[in-house]
């Protein structure tokens, strides 16, 4: 929600980069993030400050079609740096965007989602069941119910690669990797570190398998 001004997201990117991954961040808010003086938007103030309208008008509200130019630019940047296979990761409201990108043929080799926000659990779960590539999902208690999606994706050729990981135990509040989190809290920071580690392991495994398959096809 705070766009590229979110310190938490850059710390997450840094942790992924420390694992050997190249990271490109796209801005779905087109340089107009939610203002920090009314963050987080509180119940009752949502209508006053136009949060729903702001979200709808941005690329997240417009879905994959609206965000595709930004994602394409990110792909071009990474390809230009030599990355042959690219994954897409979304945090918070961006989780559903990543899920939708995973439904497109030959766009990404895997997708990751952290702290899914927005819509209902059932809506997100149904969207997740439609991905065509391995899915790595990291969440807090109450953010997601994985059983239906796990069952559906286990039937796919890539089902064994999918990862569903709840971190932080039963007391960890949702949104530990989003802009709303306070990483000054050592517990939240530790859980976010666990999430980054789980996500990095998933992405690296998906990349390695994709590389192996591509090598076999070229032989």
The rounded distance, in Å, linking the Cα atoms of 100 and 137 is: 14
Element (H, E) at 136: strand 135-139
As given in the structure block, the two tokens for residue 139 are: 């969440």
**The tokens of 108 are what?**
């990404």
Q: Which two tokens stand for residue 150?
A: 């796990």
The predicted-structure confidence for 106-159, as pLDDT tens digits, reads as follows 889 999 999 887 655 788 889 999 999 999 999 988 888 899 999 999 999 999
Which of 126, 115, 73 shows the shortest CA–CA distance to 86?
Answer: 73
3-state helix/strand/coil string of 44-57: CCHHHHCHHHHHHH
> Which distant-in-sequence residues (6+ apart) come within 8 Å of 187 by Cβ?
172
Q: Which two tokens stand for residue 3?
A: 């766009």
Residue with tokens 């932080």: 168
What is residue 12's predicted lDDT score, i.e. its pLDDT?
A: 83
Q: For the chain, what are the domain ranges? A: 7-26+85-218
Per-residue confidence in pLDDT tens, the chain, 219 aa: 555 666 777 788 888 889 888 888 887 666 666 555 555 555 555 455 555 565 555 545 557 777 788 888 889 999 998 888 899 998 887 888 899 999 998 889 999 999 887 655 788 889 999 999 999 999 988 888 899 999 999 999 999 999 999 998 877 777 888 767 777 778 888 888 889 999 999 999 998 887 676 555 545
The answer to pTM > 0.85 is no
Q: Compute the C-alpha angle 28/71/166, nearest 5°.
A: 75
Check residue 128 and give its pLDDT.
Answer: 93
């Amino acid at each position: 929600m705070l766009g590229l001004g979110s310190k938490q997201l850059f710390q997450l990117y840094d942790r992924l980069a420390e694992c050997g991954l190249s990271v490109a961040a796209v801005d779905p808010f087109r340089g107009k993030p939610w203002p920090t003086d009314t963050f987080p938007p509180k119940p009752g103030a949502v209508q006053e400050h136009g949060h729903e309208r702001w979200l709808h008008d941005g690329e997240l509200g417009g879905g994959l079609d609206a965000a595709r130019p930004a994602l394409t630019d990110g792909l071009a940047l990474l390809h230009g740096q030599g990355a042959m296979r690219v994954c897409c990761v979304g945090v918070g409201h961006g989780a559903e965007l990543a899920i939708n990108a995973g439904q497109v043929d030959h766009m990404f080799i895997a997708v990751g989602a952290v702290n899914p926000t927005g819509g209902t659990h059932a809506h997100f779960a149904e969207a997740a069941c439609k991905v065509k590539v391995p899915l790595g999902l990291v969440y807090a208690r109450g953010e997601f119910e994985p059983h239906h999606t796990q069952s559906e994706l286990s039937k796919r050729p890539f089902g064994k690669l999918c990862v569903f990981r709840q971190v932080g135990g039963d007391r960890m509040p949702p949104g530990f990797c989003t802009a709303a989190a306070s990483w000054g809290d050592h517990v939240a920071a530790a859980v976010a570190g666990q999430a980054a580690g789980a996500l990095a392991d998933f992405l690296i495994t998906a990349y390695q398998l994709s590389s192996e398959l591509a090598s076999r096809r070229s032989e």
